[in-house]
Amino acid sequence: MKSLANDIETILPNLRRYARATTGDQAHGDDLAEAALRRLIASWGTSPQTSLSKVALFQAFHDGQDRRARPTDGALSPDESRAHLHLSKLTSDSRQALLLRAFERFDDDEIATIMGIDAARVAELITTARHEISQAISGRILIIEDEARVATRIEDILIEMGHKIIGQAARHDDAVSLVAQSIPDLILSDIQLADGDDGVETVSDILQKHPGVPVIFVTGFPERLLTGQGPEPVFLITKPFSKDQVRSAVSQAMFFAERTA
C-alpha cells in the first residue's frame, strides 16, 4: 500500500486547500477533507485500491457536502456565524467551479464529474463566478512581497478588480509601518521576505494588533502550510500563480472578512 500512502501525501494537501477556501476555516475545512478521504477508502470495501485518484477524492468531498451535519447557530463561534452568513449569500457552485479550475487545474470534464453536473454547466458556472468577482465590494489591501516584479503583478490584478492598494512592503518593519497608517481589509503576504524576514511572523505581529484581518499567503512551497498540523493559513496561493488564482482567492477572502465600512 506504499503507492496509496504516497498518493494521499500528494493529493490530500490540495483537498485541504480547497476545503479551507470553500469554508473559510482551517479546522472545519481540514475535518471535511479527512472525512472525504475516509468515505472514499471505506467505499472500496473488500477491494482496496492501490492508487488514489485526485478526481475521485474531490468527488467524495462534494458527495458528502449535502449530507454533512450543519452546526446550529448556538454552536457557532462569531467568526463561523459570519462565514456561514456570507456563504448563504453566494452562488456556491460558481465559486467552487472556479476554485477547481484556477487552483486545482481540473478541466471542464473533471469538474463536471466532481460536482455531478455536465461540462456545459461547468462553463456557465465559471463565467458566473468571474462576473460575481467583478461585482465584489472593493477593499484596502496590503501587499507584503520582496520581489518587486511579483508585487507589481499582484497590484495590477487587484487594481483591475477595483481594490485600493495601501502599499507594498518587502520587510517586516515596512509592513508594520504601513498598517499603522492605514488598516487593511486584506493582506497578501509572501512567506520569505527581504533580509531574512519571515512573512508568517510579520503577519502574526500585525494580527496581534488588528485581529480579524483576512490573510492570503503566497508561496512556492504550499505543502509546508497544508499539513493539517497546528495553525495554518486558510487562503493560499501557489507560485507561479495565474490571474484567476489571485482573483478567486481574494474574492473568497474578502467574502469571509468582517467589513466595518
> pTM for this one?
0.73
Which residues in 216-247 are b (16+ Cβ under 10 Å) and which e?
A: bbbbeebeebbeeeeebbbbbbbeebeebbbb
pLDDT tens string 182-226:
999 999 999 999 999 999 999 999 999 998 899 999 998 888 888
The CATH number of the domain where 166 resides is what?
3.40.50.2300
Whether 48 is in a domain gets the answer: yes
Answer yes or no: are the C-beta atoms of 15 and 103 closer than 8 Å: no
Whether 75 has a pLDDT exceeding 60, the answer reads no
Which residue, of 13, 48, 66, is where some domain finishes?
66
Whether 155 is in a domain gets the answer: yes
* pLDDT score of 215: 94
Residue 243 makes CB contacts below 8 A (sequence gap 6+) with 157
Which residue, of 40, 66, 92, is where some domain finishes?
66
Whether 251 is in a domain gets the answer: yes
Is 233 in the same domain as 147? Answer: yes
**Gap between the Cα atoms of 81 and 224, Å rounded:** 29
Whether 5 is in a domain gets the answer: yes
Is 247 in the same domain as 142? Answer: yes
Which range marks the domain in which residue 40 is found?
1-66
* pLDDT score of 89: 46
Is 54 in the same domain as 142? Answer: no
**Confidence category of residue 68, pLDDT binned at 50, 70, 90:** very low
Is 141 in the same domain as 232? Answer: yes
Is 53 in the same domain as 141? Answer: no
The CATH number of the domain where 11 resides is what?
1.10.1740.10
Is 151 in the same domain as 243? Answer: yes
Whether 9 is in a domain gets the answer: yes
